[in-house]
Amino acid sequence: RLGIPSLEAFEKLLLPATEAAEERRLQFRTQLSRLDSQLSFEQQQLDEATSKLDKLVKAQQSTAASLESLRAELTREQAEMAGFVAQIEGLRRELAALTTKYGDATEDVHAARHTLEQGQKDLDAMNKDLQARATEMDRALAEKAAVLRKCKIEDIPLPLLRGSLQALPLEAGVGAGSGSQLTESYLSQLSLGDTQSSSMSIDGADDIAPDYSTLPQTDRTGVPGTVEQKYIADVARLTAEIDALNPNPHARERLESARARLHEIEVEHNAARQEARESKSTFQAVRKRRHDVFMRCYNHLATAIDHAYKALTQSPLFPLGGTAYLALEDPESPYLAGVKYHAMPPLKRFRDMDQLSGGEKTVAALALLFSLQTFRPAPFFVLDEVDAALDLANVAKLANFLRENARSYEDEDVEADQADEVADEAMTSHYSLRQSARIKRNAPEEASTGGSASQFIVISLKQALFERAQSLVGIYRDQAQNSSQVLTLDLDQFAS
């Protein structure tokens, strides 16, 4: 009826269509599964993007709030900065005013120190005048002792207010060693600054006071020279009258013996006085020379040490540097006492030297050393780790100072070479002329010129110091030879 011959033919006819439908159904399901997976993935990506967007929105809102807060804080900081700038300007003006005041005060200190030195010189002059007057008094007292001794020898009655001629020794200054004793006593009292004469303590003449009230008023108030001549004439007249009388025959012999003895005493006394006077003159000359030599050095150092200390402590922030000065403990005899050294670093108050730090003491000691160099220049210095207690800033200042005041052998070699050429022409000793050229180069200049440059041999472990040197000398251990080796390096060839 259906036009299909058999069931097998029907199945053969229906099977391709069924297989095709199943294949299409399978493809459809596969496509559907792939679309479902893609939809899920896209949905997940959308959820993630939405979450990120929400986070970004919140972050944007937080950032906007922080930005506003930062802007407000920036405005506040700018206002505070403007206030600080105004304060800095005020402090700079105040610093400039204080710097001016400090300069004026420094000038006043120098003026006061100059006035003090002038007063010291005036005091020395007064002391010299006092010593001259004391010498004149010694001479007058010695003459008084000689007159009193002569009165005692010749038994001349002398009215006295105080003392007795019996207590006056006749043989003062006579005998072995008397002249030396007088000289030693005289010099010992001079060394102690005693203005009294040594003859006073030896002769005892200061304990005897003649009574001049019995003399006529004209003799007491007259000119001493005229009165003395009058009494000499009276003594001569009375002596002639006594000789005209009938004297004791033995009196003249006794008188001649006494006169001879008195003459010997006067000769020895005058010799002792002359020896004492010469010793005193020699002592005063040595004392004056010692004082002059000391004060010449001290006055030079008192001026030079401040310049050296300022050069070692000045900086761009404090261009004037510190202040250093010397003070004598005993201005009258400076060589018998000490010298105080005071140093005030920049922006520091006054303190004693023992209260300064190690670095400040080092800078002060170097200033004293370099100021001594200006008075007695030395050809070279050996400085062994003088920068150990210094910080980098002070090490740099020390290096600059040494560099500015250092002298190389290059200039000396030029002069030595010129001397060698002269030696060749004149057939003179090469060695002697080279040495004379170097000696002439190293000869000390006068202190008034501010000193001459020197060579500095510095032992240091700090790079800030030895990198400024002209040449380096290093010591290292050679392991192969098991010994020390020396390495030298000329840094001037690397200078730009």
Pairing of strands 209-210, 160-162: antiparallel
Helix or strand run (H / E) with residue 161: strand 160-162
Statement: residue 416 has pLDDT above 70: no
DSSP secondary structure of 103-119: HHHHHHHHHHHHHHHHH
pLDDT at 407: 63
Report the distance separating Cα 398 and Cα 408, nearest Å: 18
pLDDT at 1: 53
pLDDT at 275: 93
What is the model's pTM? 0.43
**What are 477's two structure tokens?**
């251990």
Q: For 443, which DSSP code?
A: S
Report the distance separating Cα 362 and Cα 390, nearest Å: 8
Q: Is 92 helix (H, G, I), strand (E, B) or coil?
A: helix
pLDDT at 4: 65
Residues forming a β-bridge with 261: none
Q: Are 117 and 299 in contact (CB under 8 A)?
A: yes
For residue range 218-277, what is the model confidence (pLDDT) as tens digits? Answer: 766 666 667 778 878 887 888 777 777 665 667 677 778 888 888 899 899 989 999 999
* Residue type present at position 53: L
Report the distance separating Cα 416 and Cα 434, nearest Å: 5
pLDDT at 16: 81
Asked whether the CA dihedral 173, 175, 179, 185 is positive or negative, the reply is: negative
Q: For 355, which DSSP code?
A: G
Residue owning tokens 């900065």:
81
pLDDT at 272: 92
Q: How far is CA 191 from CA 138, 187, 194, 338, in A?
A: 16, 6, 8, 19
Of 360, 365, 325, 357, residue with least CA distance to 341? 325
pLDDT at 181: 40
Report the distance separating Cα 291 and Cα 298, nearest Å: 10
In three-state form (DSSP H/G/I as H, E/B as E, the rest C), the secondary structure along 448-490 is HHCCCCEEEEEECCCHHHHCCCCEEEEEEEECCCCEEEEEEEE
Report the distance separating Cα 56 and Cα 41, nearest Å: 22
Statement: residue 136 has pLDDT above 50: yes
Rounded mean pLDDT, 32-46:
89
